[in-house]
Structure 1
Amino acid sequence: MFCYQCEQTFKGTGCTVQGVCGKKPDVASLQDLLLYTLMGLSQVAIDARKQNIIDEKIGVFTVQAAFSTLTNVDFDPDRFSKLIHEAVFFREDLKTRIKDSGGSVDYPDGAANLTPGTDLEELVKQGETVGIKTYPADDPDILSLKHTVLYGIKGVSAYADHAYILGKMDDSVFAYVHEGLAAIQRTDLTLDDWLGLTLKCGETALKTMELLDAGNTEIYGHPVPTKVPLGYKRGKAILVSGHDLKDLEELLKQTQGKGINIYTHGEMLSTHGYPELKKYNHFYGQFGTAWQKQIKEFADFPGAILMTTNCIQRPQKSYQDNLFTSGMVGWPGIPHISDLNFKPVIDRALALPGFVEDKVTGEATVGFARNAVLNVADKVIEAVKAGDIRHFFLVAGCDGAKPGRNYYTEFVEKVPKDCVVLTCACGKYRFFDQDFGDIGGIPRLLDAGQCNDSYSSLQIATALAKAFNVGINELPLSLIISWYEQKAVCVLLALLHLGIKDIRLGPSLPAFLTPNILGTLVKLFDIKPITTPDEDLAAILN
């Protein structure tokens, strides 16, 4: 196996024996084979479009299947076998329809003609021959961009699936996913072509995040500032971790009146700000944070745990019996809820002891998405003009276990008191529960939500730029980004598509960027690695 799609990859170069995430070589091979079959499906889907054959279910399937290969999403070999065979079925069905419409279905040997093995052992062997190091490219910089586009597409696919669940989709997203995946098997594209496809991935990412934002806010309302208790109260309990609001809503409906309190974990914290979710009186608070303490937190939770999407390494024996998954998440031996009927989760919670006492250790305030911030935009603008607010920092992105993550805590703690920090995604769990005070009633720490809510943060920046009649890059705003997996890659590409410059990225740079590609990004966008909090703050503010 070879995998270097996440920031935690072994020695910063690549996992070759077993993933740091716990991914086994057989699963890595099956994921590689699935991606290869999706490339073949995409080649045929592009030709189908030329015959005006556009099939929504194939677009949906493609993004869901690509989503399953993200870091920490699905480790179940049987599910990958099913997806591989489904991809081939859709591919062959499209070929028949193209031929019936008078089009050509003459494809060279490769992804568009793969015949998958009949059992897991054969599929694993096939996957070993089509991994990311086999993608055709004589130029290492082109190969680097092929991998960058692949990882960006994985992130786009995750957001597209989240949006689709909420009834939002756009065929242009599916069209780009097919374009990008099919291009990986091409040898006739130049480096400039690949730079264009990379930035187009960012454009598609922005569109996809806009769709997801619309789905969230139209159904659940615009988030409002909300204080969330950190801790628990006596009674039966279910802990929900991940990102999917639909799963949380259905669980809240199904647990009404059953004497079970619902707690959030990780990025689900921000859901307490949505009016249509916070109306449930048994939706209580946040138990635990994210990454760095996750395994112990789950082991200590005396109720059922529902994982709705990625954000955890392989389950530990200490809490495995109490764990359920939904959505694209899957692990061998862990019960999976595929139909939003959470009765097994509820029954398990009722059978467990729950909390025997009340304990609250503090609170966090969420809900500072774009509407909440822009509703006080006049106060923000006045504070900037008066010199009360000197600078804004968007400290956003992923958390992780690798050393160096303490940079972000130290950075925020050292931000001068006349500056405001806007944050989203799970990286904030390094500092989210600290009291940073306010500036004229405006909190110095504004929690804009999940990584899924990056669009909202960008809209805040765009509105402020318009109010000051300047470009985003002229605002007193600096982006300090931490990345972990492929959704962070697609958000970064969205920022680059918008032309945002001077982004500081860490805690380490992606292993899939060659020195030449990194040099190009520095030249075009002045992107740079983080150094130390003191050095970076001095460079920004002086």
Structure 2
Amino acid sequence: MFCFQCEQTAKGKGCEVIGVCGKDETTADLQDLLVYALKGFAEVSLKAREKGITDRDGERFMLAALFSTLTNVNFDPARLAELIKETLERRDELKSKIGEEFTSDAATFTLGSSMDEMIEKAKSVGIKADPSVDEDILSLRETLIYGLKGVAAYGYHASILGKEDDYVFEFVERGLASTLRTDISLEDWVNLVLECGKANLKAMELLDAANTGTYGHPVPTEVPLGHKKGKAILVSGHDLKDLEEILKQSEGKGIYVYTHGEMLPTHGYPELKKYPHFYGHFGTAWQNQQKEFPQFPGPIVMTTNCIQKPIDTYKDNIFTCGVVAWPGVKHIKDHDFTPVIEKALEMPGFDSDEDKGSVMVGFGRNAILGVADKIIEAVKSGAIRHFFLVAGCDGAKPGRNYYTEFVEKVPEDCVVLTLACGKFRFFDKKLGDIGGIPRLLDVGQCNDAYSAIEVALALAKAFDCDVNELPLSLVLSWYEQKAVAILLTLLYLGIKNIKLGPSLPAFLSENVLNLLVEKYNIKPITTPDEDLKEILGD
């Protein structure tokens, strides 16, 4: 195996024996083969488009299947094998409709039913299967693939709630199919990577419209960090539809529903917070689940990426749904959470109330821009000197305490906006306010990056300046491929001077990294003191 798609990849170069995420060689190989099969399916889909044939159900499947190869999503070889088989079946069915001959191996290869055949094929299509590929082209090709995985994740979430756009589907197909070509110049590869950022912006816009259109715009909401006496269900991941179904199906059964990880911001949505048994938040970020989940006295539902290997103390209590899978873990189909509810009623729940304080969520673009006049006046008067967007993924790798220390050292005349699970390094810090404007504003999930972008664009318009001229600095942490897609969106929008950490992506070659530094002034984080001094000039 060889995989270097996440920030924690072994030795900062690539996982070759077992994934740092926990995936074994078989799982890694099958993920490679699934991506390869999807490239062939995409090539066929593009040709079908030319002939006026649109396979929308197949395109939705493509998003879900690609999403399943993202870090910490699907670790089950049996389910990956089924996805590969279905990809080939859908590819061949579409080929029969368009009556076109294809010559690429990805669009024509066949497999028997045995796992051994799949593994053998997988080893010929992995990341480094062709050593003759130029290092910079390999870097840009893999950057595009990882960006596409992020686009697929956001597009998948939006599609579940009925929001879709043909451009997103078309670009995912075109992007995947392009990685089979050998006639693309370096300049064209760069343009494809930047267009991936454009497609991701559209996917995030769709998801924002899907979430706010279905559940209302988030409003500032105080979320308890303690618990209530009674039966309990814990929901982790990102998916709002799954959470809504759990709330609906558990209503009136004496069960409290709690969030974990990136589900924390869901407490701000009016159509979710209306459920009286939707109570509070338990735990912190994804990488702590093996320490936190054994302490939860009820079932746990993993709705999207972020699952770690379940340990024996809670393996019987955890469920997966959607594209998430782990061998031996019970999987929920068709949003029927009856097994989860039954497990909650069997388990003891919390034996007493506990008050552990609270945090505030719900500062999406509607909430922030609703007080834009106060923000603008505070900036003009000098009450607010600078904004920092300290956001992104959390992880277990040493060096991420940088973000805690950075927020603690941000001067009192500055505001910190945050989103994604990186916030759990500092989400419970009491930073106070500036003229009634909280100094720590939780914009939401990584899925809500669109809100932060819209806030920045709106402020730039209000101040009649470019985004790069705003008193705003981006200090980002990354871990997986949605973060890659968001970074590509920021580059597509021309946003510069991003500080990125804890380490730079292993899949970026030296020349590609130099290009990003030269054109966008992307820099690795150093120390909080040095970075604050550079940004603020103190």
2:107 is matched with which residue? 112
1:533 to 525, 528, 536: 528
Tell me, yes or no, if the aligned pair for 2:289 and 2:308 is still in contact at 8 Å. no
| 1:194 is aligned to 2:181 | no
> Matched residue of 1:393: which SS?
strand
| 1:15 is aligned to 2:10 | no
CA distance in 2, matches of 1:178, 1:496: 22
How far has the Cα of 1:89 moved from its partner? 1.2
1:102 is matched with which residue? none
How far has the Cα of 1:440 moved from its partner? 0.3
1:358 to 334, 353, 360: 353
What amino acid maps onto 1:44 in structure 2?
V
| 1:184 is aligned to 2:179 | yes
1:367 to 345, 357, 362: 362
> Matched residue of 1:435: which SS?
coil
1:395 is matched with which residue? 390
How far has the Cα of 1:468 moved from its partner? 0.5
CA distance in 2, matches of 1:463, 1:230: 33
Tell me, yes or no, if the aligned pair for 2:498 and 2:521 is still in contact at 8 Å. yes
CA distance in 2, matches of 1:300, 1:114: 48
| 1:518 is aligned to 2:513 | yes
| 1:160 is aligned to 2:148 | no
After TM superposition, the score normalised by the length of structure 1 is: 0.98
Q: Which runs of 5+ in 1 are unaligned?
A: 100-104
CA distance in 1, matches of 2:403, 2:98: 52
How far has the Cα of 1:157 moved from its partner? 0.5
CA distance in 1, matches of 2:80, 2:258: 31
CA distance in 2, matches of 1:354, 1:27: 35
Matches within 5 A, 1:193-342: 193-342=188-337
Tell me, yes or no, if the aligned pair for 2:287 and 2:308 is still in contact at 8 Å. no
What amino acid maps onto 2:25 in structure 1?
P
2:488 is matched with which residue? 493
CA distance in 2, matches of 1:207, 1:315: 35
What amino acid maps onto 1:36 in structure 2?
Y
> Matched residue of 1:231: which SS?
coil
Pick which of 117-126 and 148-157 moved more. Answer: 117-126
Cα distance change, pair 31–381 in 1 and its aligned pair in 2 (3 A)? same
> Matched residue of 1:95: which SS?
helix
2:417 is matched with which residue? 422
Tell me, yes or no, if the aligned pair for 2:226 and 2:355 is still in contact at 8 Å. yes
| 1:462 is aligned to 2:457 | yes
Cα distance change, pair 278–109 in 1 and its aligned pair in 2 (3 A)? closer
CA distance in 2, matches of 1:275, 1:495: 29
Tell me, yes or no, if the aligned pair for 1:137 and 1:143 is still in contact at 8 Å. no
Tell me, yes or no, if the aligned pair for 2:245 and 2:335 is still in contact at 8 Å. yes
1:85 is matched with which residue? 85
1:346 is matched with which residue? 341
CA distance in 2, matches of 1:117, 1:480: 48
Pick which of 330-339 and 435-444 moved more. Answer: 330-339
**Count of equivalent residues:** 537
CA distance in 2, matches of 1:505, 1:83: 34
1:56 is matched with which residue? 56
> Matched residue of 1:162: which SS?
helix
> Matched residue of 2:319: which SS?
strand
CA distance in 2, matches of 1:257, 1:137: 62
CA distance in 1, matches of 2:513, 2:457: 26
Matches within 5 A, 1:22-37: 22-37=22-37
2:501 to 483, 506, 514: 506
| 1:478 is aligned to 2:473 | yes
CA distance in 1, matches of 2:222, 2:356: 13
* CA distances 1:44-90 after superposition (whole Å, capped 9, x unpaired): 11111111111111111111110000111001111111111111111
What amino acid maps onto 1:19 in structure 2?
G
What amino acid maps onto 2:17 in structure 1?
V
| 1:98 is aligned to 2:93 | no
After TM superposition, the score normalised by the length of structure 2 is: 0.99
Q: Which runs of 5+ in 2 are unaligned?
A: none
CA distance in 2, matches of 1:227, 1:425: 18
* CA distances 1:5-54 after superposition (whole Å, capped 9, x unpaired): 00011111111111111101011111111111101111111111111111
> Matched residue of 2:170: which SS?
helix
Cα distance change, pair 263–135 in 1 and its aligned pair in 2 (3 A)? farther
> Matched residue of 1:42: which SS?
helix
Pick which of 41-50 and 380-389 moved more. Answer: 41-50
| 1:378 is aligned to 2:373 | yes
> Matched residue of 1:134: which SS?
coil
CA distance in 2, matches of 1:341, 1:92: 32
Q: CA-atom RMSD, angstroms?
A: 0.9
1:447 is matched with which residue? 442
> Matched residue of 2:153: which SS?
helix
